[in-house]
Structure 1
Amino acid sequence: MLGLFGKKTSGFDLTEGNRHVLPGLALLEAGKGAELAALYAGLAPADRLHFLDGLGQVSEIGAALPRLDSHPAMYALAGGLHYVWAHRLRGFATADRTSQSQVMDMAEMAAVAEDLLGAAAGLTPGDSALHGFRFRAMMLTGAPPGGFEAVTEDLRASGEANVLAELARMSYLAPKWHGSTGQMHAAAETAMDGAPNASFLALKARAWIEEWLYQTAMNENEAEIAAFRDKVKSEAFRAEVAELDDRFRQAFTAAPELSFAEAGFAHNNFAVLMVLFKDMVRLKPHLAAIGSAAFQTPWGYIAGRKVPDMIARLRAQTGLPKLKA
């Protein structure tokens, strides 16, 4: 949720505009497990994952949870929260700026998350969000032999189309985690093939953003970096970006309405892609759609701790009005 180089940002809404997070926090603090889990279970697939991301950010790390037997979805909910807490314990800097104690605290919390999510997979296997969190937990700890493939099978068997679960699967295969640029792009394209709505096209936008991040901040192969720089300067690449944005616009207009999390994921990632490649005309409608609901990732990749400031500056540059305080 938070960007790779950013920490909690002053003035940034950690709920990312999700109206269910603060009511969920009140239920969590009151120990109302059945009501909290029912709220979670009643959300659209991607919104379940986004809800737990927000709840994990605004809740106290290691907060007391309601009884796990209070609702079948409590295991998934508890597992997702433990994952977010694990990531918060690690911090959001690169590995060379992460202490051994942070890594140990993260690993301990992530192990609890994996146990809870494993139990949830047996109780509520049709919940695609929990499988998304399983991919994300494996990003922190590494997958056992066959683990990635097993979770992929479980996600497919859930029968739900969940763009944020597909993002988690794609992210596991990113070069900064456990895969390569080619594997990451292939995962995005596989998820896009026959996708039920426009939000899945933003997976390719995110893959390009992740490739940019890797090549500009992490890769040490000078030849690969030079090849990437040449590629993104080419007219062919710019045409490919424009074609993807056009496809999104057409599908967004003609296809089923997106859920809150689906729309937020799509517009935030397309917006950052357009900022990276300096297309202010294509940026404007995505920025307008985002409003005050900016997602810290991927904005944190380019704005660090100053996401609201960057959003305000870009809105001014594109002729959009100031957001209300």
Structure 2
Amino acid sequence: MSIFRRLAGRKPPRSLPPVLDLSHGDEELRRLRALADAGDWAALRPALAAVPDQAELTWLLNRVSDVEGTEEWLAKAVAERPEDTLALLLSGARQISWAWEARTGARAKHVTEDQWQLFGERLETAEEQLLEVAEREPGWLAPWYFLQVAARGASLGRTVATTRFEAALRRDPEHLGSHQQRLQQLCAKWGGSHEQMHAFARTAMLGAPEGSPLGELVAIAHLEHWLDLPDGEDHAYLTGPAVRSSLREAALRSVLHPAYRRRRDWRSTHNTFAMVLSLADERELAHAVFATLDDVATEWPWYYLGGDEAGNYQVHRDRCAPR
């Protein structure tokens, strides 16, 4: 049996179209998002407090903070019980998501003055709340993860960003989310460069044990580089022999390595590899990754292709299927 057949396991069924799932196929997260949508902090709080792993808790908070409207009941929860550090943490995380909702995904030149003002005000609130959380609970990872996002949005500079990244790593040296935020900070669009971005991604991957999800950083770096190129050059870049070799190495060292173990956020990582491997015409490896997903598509990175994320997933899944 070839390595690709062994890794892929089985072909996903083709009778049903893929599903875009904001809960990433995680039933517990689906329940927590529903509680957040209902404003049921009395039920949501103990569920979050019971999560023992700081990386898992950070991921769950990040996904729950995307639920629209939560800023209203969170403000009341913080006002009624200012000593509740977990409520303050989720509120700070929500202020960041809410800030980006105000800014929108438009390029900076298309963001209005009012949008910039709301963006800044909400990030300022997030900073105040998250720094308070970090002071109260020095061992928590989550505030330092979210403070990295806030620092980039508020353009607080390389020194602040580095300090916050290092603070996160002291609490979890292999935290994928914090490494992803550092990678964004090093992107050309945020004042870095392609060279810095690629060097960081590769160094982080090689510095982690084989089977680590940090191999995803290499895939994300190539996607970011691809996005920065004009039509024509982008395809030539991803399908070039050096990039294809780099992507094969990253996939086989991380999600397709025998030592790899799925963590709570695994579907996002697998979707990233599936997309970039398909775009790079590494179809056999892409199929091996698609076959693990049971046709659950995550919003990121498929929105990079525009239009319908699940539809984009299906197009690339089908083009990589064995003939």
Q: Give me the TM-score of the superposition, normalised by structure 1.
A: 0.80
1:50 counterpart (38, 47, 59): 59
Q: In the alignment, is the contact (CA less than 8 A) between 1:135 and 1:151 conserved in 2?
A: yes
Residue of structure 2 equivalent to 1:116? 129
Show the counterpart of 1:179. Answer: 192
TM-superposed CA distance for 1:54, in Å, is 2.5
Match of 1:278, SS?
coil
Change (3 A) 1:249 1:136: closer
1:101 aligns with 2:133: no
Q: What is the identity, as a one-letter code, of the residue corresponding to 2:91?
A: A
Query: Cα distance 1:115–1:32, how it changes in 2: closer, same or farther (>3 A)?
Result: same
Q: Among 202, 208, 217, which residue is 1:203 paired with?
A: 217
| Range 36-45 or range 173-182, more displaced | 36-45
1:59 lines up with 2:68 in the alignment = yes
The 3-state SS of whatever aligns with 1:290 is coil
Where 2:131 maps in the other structure, the secondary structure is helix
Choose from 241, 258, 263 the match for 1:259: 263
Letter in 1 for 2:25: G
Change (3 A) 1:273 1:314: closer
Letter in 1 for 2:296: A
Equivalence for 1:282: 285
Cα deviations across residues 23-42 of structure 1 (Å, max 9, x unaligned)?
A: 32454444536852651661
2:32 corresponds, among 13, 24, 30, to 24
Question: Alpha-carbon deviations, 1:221-262, whole Å to 9, x = none?
Answer: xxxx96x776545323322222222222553x224x22120x
Distance 2:72 2:41 in 1: 13
Larger radius of gyration, structure 1 or 2? 2
Which residue of 2 is the match for residue 6 of structure 1?
Answer: none
Assess, with a 3 A threshold, how the Cα gap between structure 1 residues 292 and 205 changes in structure 2: closer, same or farther.
same
Aligned twin of 1:308: 310
Counterpart in 1 of 2:159?
146
CA-atom RMSD in angstroms: 2.8
1:301 CA displacement: 0.8
1:60-83 deviation digits (Å, cap 9, x = unpaired): 163221235464333322211111
Amino acid at match of 2:259: A
Taking only the aligned residue pairs, the percentage that are identical comes to 24
Which ranges in structure 2 are unaligned for 5 or more consecutive residues?
Answer: 1-18
The 3 A distance-change label for structure 1 pair 27 and 308 is closer
For the residues of structure 2 that align with 1:298 and 1:292, how far apart are their CA atoms? 15
AA in 2 matched with 1:58: V
Cα offset for 1:210? 0.7
CA change 1:166–1:61 in 2 (3 A) is: same
How far did residue 205 of structure 1 move? 0.7
User: What is the aligned counterpart of 1:242 among 210, 225, 248?
Assistant: 248
Identify which of 228, 235, 242 aligns with 1:214. 228
For 1:233 and 1:319, the matched residues in 2 are separated by 18
CA–CA separation in structure 2 for the residues paired with 1:254 and 1:13: 27
Counterpart AA for 1:259: R
* 1:297 and 2:295 matched: no
1:290 maps to amino acid:
L
Aligned-pair distance for 1:169?
A: 1.4
The answer for unaligned runs of 5 or more in structure 1 is 1-10, 218-224, 321-325
Distance 2:212 2:158 in 1: 34
How many residues matched?
A: 298
Aligned to 1:317: 319
The one-character-per-residue Cα deviations of 1:279-298 (angstroms, maximum 9, x if unpaired) are 22111122222334322222
Query: 1:187-216 deviations in whole A, cap 9, x for unaligned?
Result: 223432432542111111111111111223
Q: Given that residues 167 and 203 in structure 1 are in contact (C-alpha distance below 8 angstroms), is that contact kept between their aligned partners in structure 2?
A: yes
